[in-house]
Amino acid sequence: MKLENSANRSSLRDFLPLAAGLAAVWWLAIRMLWTDWEIDPQYSYGFLVPLLCVGLFLQRWGDRPAAAPPANLSRNLLLALPPLVFLAGIQPFFEANPEWRIPGMFGAISAVTISLVLVHSLGGRPWLRHFFFPIAFFLIAVPWPRNAEEAFMGFLMEKNAIAALEVLHWCGFEAVRRGNLISVPGGLIGVEEACSGVRSMQSGLMASLFFGEIFRFGIFTRGMLVFSALGFAIFGNFIRATTLSLVAATQGLAALESWHDAAGFATLGFTLGSLWLLSYALHYRRTRHMPPQKLPPPPPTPEVPGQLRRAAYFGFTLLVLSLGGTEAWYRLHERQTPSSAGWTIREGTAGTKPVPVADKTRRILFFPEGFSETFRDAQERPWQFFYFRWPAGRTAAQAINIHNPEICLGSIGMKMVRQLEPLEIRAKGIILPFNVYLFSDRGRPILVFHSIIADRQPNSHNAPMLESETGISSSEGRWAAVASGVRNRGQRLLEAAVWGTDHVAEASVVLQRYLEQSLEVGTPAVQP
């Protein structure tokens, strides 16, 4: 008995380096995806995915096949070196560009690849085939690239708006569609991102893959579940959009507040519940005449080769050094880096009228400080100005990306004509860079000035902007941010829109005068 206990303790010690190395790998991968899961409702299911991966792996562990380790372990471990180096090397870029989804995407792929190499190193091809799905299942939690996500979301919103309009016409209501807006006698109904169906579609896709693995369906049945998930999500959101449109047409826009969230949860529940019932029915049909089967005892756990343990120590050390070195690099540069806390935009300039920011907008953008107001220029053209500020942290960088003029204005029926040349406006010694867009509202031109500024001195040549809206999403900009030790410590959004003109030079003069009146400059603070 003493010899057996000693052997068990020895086996446990052999697995500790592997556990430590894997923990570091997966912690880094989850860390790069966490903020997207936190602030974007359509990816909130991502918090469940790591737990489901563990559950599926443990389920597979009970009926694992006998191990057949590869003959050439060195060649096998070389496959894990590129993703390991990527995880270590990408950390400085992730710190400087937290809104960039590419590191998170490839970080997840790296974690999956390293885990599969480890499984193959311990059990060979039988283990690789057996444990492939529980490990690769994690990739379902990776957010899409923003361009693909926005294009797909816009497509679904448009189709839902068209379908809702047809139902209103069938029911005898007068309704007109303007982009993703539907005009009914009671007001305007917006088919927004939440009504696109992407959230229930993503959650349904995750659930269909999970149920397929839980019940151990074949490839054909799993594919059928995936297509069923898409069908349930599309149908559910069609019902949601049309129901909300009918509520607005019959009860008024005020009634939507009490119906909107409940309809969203009902759609999600319908999708997941329908998938569960379908999966259980397929499982019952397959097993109802099968006698209970007793699983044979699992084969013994293979020994951990010394080479694999040394590789795990190396990987763990490399990742720890990468994290420590990254943090030291940015802290070194932040010791004397001036912040732009010395300037702000004052609300209530003479001639302006405040416009309350909707509670829904506050929930979406997560900004703790900001306002909106309107005014008219000398030609009596209406202007609207927005100013939002986010504190330091990754949430700031992610939340600010949600506010995109093309998406926001397109969702209320305006059409972007083109993006114009960017410009800089100087006000009280501060240089403010703006992207400029030309929109059309039923033939009426609208100029939009849009700026996202890092929370530091905007005229500092050593402090590049961090966000794609300012044109620093190029590889040169990302390298410059790392080289100068610049990472996100808060951001601001300035946006101004003027109706009835497409003359940028004339409009920029008006905006410059407004900023001269509303901008307050103090002494830049030094970050500790």
CATH number at residue 361: 3.40.1000
Q: Is 385 exposed, middle or buried (0-12, 13-18, 19+ CB in 10 A)?
A: buried
Torsion of CA 244, 250, 251, 256, to 10 degrees: 10
345 shares a domain with 489: yes
C-alpha–C-alpha distance, residues 114 and 446, integer Å: 51
The alpha carbon of 452 is separated from its chain's Cα centroid by a whole number of angstroms, namely 18
C-alpha–C-alpha distance, residues 111 and 454, integer Å: 31
C-alpha–C-alpha distance, residues 402 and 362, integer Å: 12
Domain of residue 159 covers: 146-287
Within a domain: 298: no
247 shares a domain with 273: yes
Q: Which residues of the chain have pLDDT under 70?
A: 1-12, 178-181, 185-197, 252-258, 260-261, 336-342, 359-360, 363-364, 392-403, 407, 410-413, 455-475, 488-489, 523-528
Name beta bridge partners: 178: 181
E strand map for 141-185: 176-178, 181-184
Within a domain: 3: no
72 shares a domain with 167: no
Within a domain: 54: yes
| Rg, Å, the chain Cα set | 28
Are 167 and 247 a contacting pair, CB within 8 Å?
no
312 shares a domain with 273: no
Within a domain: 6: no
Q: In Å, what is the CA distance from 92 to each residue of 14, 112, 114, 484, 487?
A: 32, 21, 21, 11, 9
Within a domain: 374: yes
62 shares a domain with 113: yes
Within a domain: 344: yes
184 shares a domain with 40: no
229 shares a domain with 208: yes
Number of folded domains that form the chain: 3
Within a domain: 126: yes
Q: In Å, what is the CA distance from 317 to each residue of 2, 52, 313, 430?
A: 34, 28, 6, 45
The alpha carbon of 209 is separated from its chain's Cα centroid by a whole number of angstroms, namely 21
CB count in 10 Å sphere of residue 431: 13
Q: Is 394 exposed, middle or buried (0-12, 13-18, 19+ CB in 10 A)?
A: buried
Q: Residue 367: its pLDDT value, please?
A: 77
C-alpha–C-alpha distance, residues 158 and 87, integer Å: 39
C-alpha–C-alpha distance, residues 292 and 297, integer Å: 16
248 shares a domain with 121: no
CB count in 10 Å sphere of residue 425: 20
498 shares a domain with 356: yes
CB count in 10 Å sphere of residue 96: 25
Are 348 and 354 a contacting pair, CB within 8 Å?
yes
470 shares a domain with 411: yes
82 shares a domain with 158: no
* Contacts of residue 164, Cβ cutoff 8 Å, sequence gap at least 6: 182, 189, 191, 241, 242, 244, 245
Structure tokens at 131: 């444990």
Within a domain: 461: yes
